[in-house]
Amino acid sequence: MTDPVAKRKLQDESVEQPATKQPRSSSPTPAFETATKVLFNQLPKKMTAEALTELFTTHGIPVVAVKKSSTSATATITCADPNAAAEAKQFALSGNLGSGKVLAKILRSHTKPHGKQATQKLLTDADGNPLPLREVIKHTVTPLWNQAYDSQLRTKKFENLRLLNSFTKEMLKLKPQSAAQTKELAFWRHLSATNAKQHDEATAGDKAQLCKALEAAGLPTEGLRGTKLSEVDKQRYQDIRAQFTIPRFFDLPCPVLDTVASPAVDHYRSKCEFAFGLDSDDNVVLGFQAGKFGTVYDQVAPADDCPNVDATTLDLVRRIRDHVATVVDRFPLYDREAKTGVWRLVMTRTQTTKQSMVVVQYNPTDLTEADITDLHQGLQSCLAPSQVTSLYVQACDQIHNGFNAKFGFTLLAGTPTIHETLMGRDFEISPASFFQVNTRGAERLYALVRYLATTGYEATPEAKQKALSTLQPNELAVTSPQASQTALLDLCCGTGTIGILMASAFAKVIGVEMVEEAVKDAQRNAEANHITNAEFIAGKVEKVLAPELRKLNRPTDQTSDEGESSPSAQPLTSAVAVLDPPRAGVPKSVIASVRNCDKIDRIVFVACDFKLSMQNVIDLCRPTSNTYSGVPFRPVVAIPVDLFPHTKSCELVIELVRNPQSEEE
């Protein structure tokens, strides 16, 4: 028998040796020195915990505890020591736990094995076998890739119909406190009867359309009973079926128009973030992570098969990957478990102007100045043939995974910023800038926002639907009859994109943003585009809005299409607000300040995730109270806009006006 003391000494000595690539099936790496739990997936469901224990014990693998339900394909075992955990993992991967392919992963000692992290659903083929990792990446990053694009648009409209129905239900839960408020709330059900009639007319031929759509997708048309489909195809079936089964009595707060399509469906992403990892043969991989951290899909695979990634990005990724593979013995990959290693993340930006930016994040811990110099020079050399416009690095030793502007960015080569053209305007992009990842799709989004804020606000829903097909993103000379008297409030303006694009349609633009660096970018972008009627202010909306609106009665300057300014002959008497909040929305204090400003008679709300920002719109529309003074708003039209083909993400633009029923009271 091996002396335990000698064995421990040997292990300790091995840790002190220079880092080398180890096969995944070898003994635990330092990241798992104390890890004794192993998660298994794709086990035979009928296999019991007792049978599993006996199987491991028979093969000399000491098991302390086994947790498995007789109806689940997932199990967690606790081994006597980390070496036993590694043996159990290898034992399972060698095909000893069933006829199918079993997945196994050693868990961190503090990971909850049956928590949300450890229960990511496996993607399988029609025979129940796990899909290859490259296929998993494709379904994770672009889950709608195998749906026809018109089908994707219907799926996204249905999802927004469902969310707007939930919005209406939340509005109806608000208890009226007076007769006036009862009258306000009565509005939210006014569409029910109309919806039912329109639904009956529109869905008369839905069954035939459903069968046609399923047949085109290669799916069964008579239901799933008795069929053998993969998990992916089952999800496709449900997505397509949902498009033709809209509930008859959806309570919608306003008409919902068809989803605005993206001009670019494939290879449209101008910004991507990639992680480093190793494949099953321990080759360096730079790509997307297949699943959540701490699950059986906590692995990285190439992004080559993802239809939203462009060729220039893939070329940059391959160059960096090949370079890192040659120096990985000296500069190992960062291990998120052990918090050791060097190479962490890569961000790429590839714009329609043919300019590109690369940011490489690394962990500087334990690196000497000579190491850092060599690391920087190696990156410059490997990317020199690709003529990258801007090459940055970020030295980051934080535990959290992701880029963080507080760590700063170091320019290694090229220009500090790159440029993108949007609706005829030029914008600078720095490493930390927010800029829409689908440039041509963003032009349609902003053209729609401009239309609703100017000439489109008086149009009927039918006229708006018709206008969507004729909007010209590059038309800058768009004005409304009220332009000489109306100000645009670009709230949460970021780098000023919306305000700059709409400056020619309004007498005055006021942009408000909390992030001071973003405001500086907005001011530079306005100056570069010769915009003189736009003012960008750093501060909180609730503190800046009221003082700025009090200035509206003063004479101001109006900018012509050529960028020349002239004094406005009339005072500014009203304002239109464009609110493009972060994904989770804005604080309630921002909404309260907007409602309290009576000069704001219209709002164009742009939600990148309406499920998360729905509460903002509820608060804009809820009955007047001590917290929310001012006449409430009501939605008049909602329009989904697809900026992310092949994914389930979708923007939702909602036009809101002050509630006329409240004004009458």
* Domain co-membership, 609 together with 461: yes
Percent of the chain residues topping a pLDDT of 90: 39
* Domain co-membership, 360 together with 312: yes
Answer whether residue 144 is part of any domain: no
In this predicted model, which residue has the larger pLDDT, 573 or 363? 363
* Domain co-membership, 490 together with 631: yes
Answer whether residue 139 is part of any domain: no
In this predicted model, which residue has the larger pLDDT, 187 or 122? 122
* Domain co-membership, 375 together with 314: yes
Residue 580 marked ligand-binding:
yes
Tens digit of pLDDT for each residue in 388-439? Answer: 999 999 999 988 788 988 899 999 999 999 999 999 999 999 998 889 999 9
Reply yes or no on whether the pLDDT at 492 is more than 60.
yes
* Domain co-membership, 293 together with 364: yes
Answer whether residue 244 is part of any domain: no
Of 31-40, 362-371, 484-493, 569-578, the range with the lowest mean pLDDT is 31-40
Separation CA 258–CA 48 (nearest Å): 51
* Domain co-membership, 38 together with 68: yes
Reply yes or no on whether the pLDDT at 530 is more than 50.
yes
Domain containing residue 352: CATH number:
2.40.50.1070
* Domain co-membership, 606 together with 465: yes
Answer whether residue 265 is part of any domain: no
* Domain co-membership, 567 together with 653: yes
Residues with a catalytic annotation lie at 608
Answer whether residue 239 is part of any domain: no
* Domain co-membership, 532 together with 478: yes
Strand-pair category, 356-362 with 300-301: unpaired
Percent of the chain residues topping a pLDDT of 70: 77
Give the residue from 460, 493, 457 showing the smallest Cα distance to 478: 457
First to last CA, the chain: 91
Please report the pLDDT score of residue 342 as a whole number.
Answer: 95
Reply yes or no on whether the pLDDT at 340 is more than 80.
yes
* Domain co-membership, 402 together with 479: no
Separation CA 335–CA 31 (nearest Å): 7
pTM over 0.95: no
Domain containing residue 84: CATH number:
3.30.70.330
In this predicted model, which residue has the larger pLDDT, 579 or 105? 579
> Residue 113's domain spans which residues?
22-119
Tens digit of pLDDT for each residue in 616-648? Answer: 999 999 988 888 988 999 999 999 999 999 999
Tens digit of pLDDT for each residue in 15-74? Answer: 333 333 333 333 333 333 455 788 887 788 778 888 888 888 888 888 888 887 776 778
Separation CA 445–CA 262 (nearest Å): 9
pLDDT mean across residues, the chain = 80
Highest mean pLDDT among 251-255, 273-277, 562-566: 273-277
Q: Among 400, 428, 456, identify where a domain stops.
A: 428
Three-state DSSP at 339 gives coil
Measuring CA to CA, how many Å separate 265 from each of 293, 646, 653?
Answer: 29, 8, 20
For the chain, how many structural domains are there in total? Answer: 4
Domain containing residue 451: CATH number:
3.40.50.150
Please report the pLDDT score of residue 373 as a whole number.
Answer: 97
Please report the pLDDT score of residue 133 as a whole number.
Answer: 81
Highest mean pLDDT among 4-18, 73-87, 338-352, 397-411: 338-352
Separation CA 85–CA 64 (nearest Å): 11
Three-state DSSP at 306 gives coil
Exposure string (b/e) for 549-569, b if CB count within 10 Å is 16 or more? Answer: beebeeebebbeeeeeeeebe
* Domain co-membership, 201 together with 81: no
* Domain co-membership, 373 together with 285: yes
Reply yes or no on whether the pLDDT at 135 is more than 90.
no
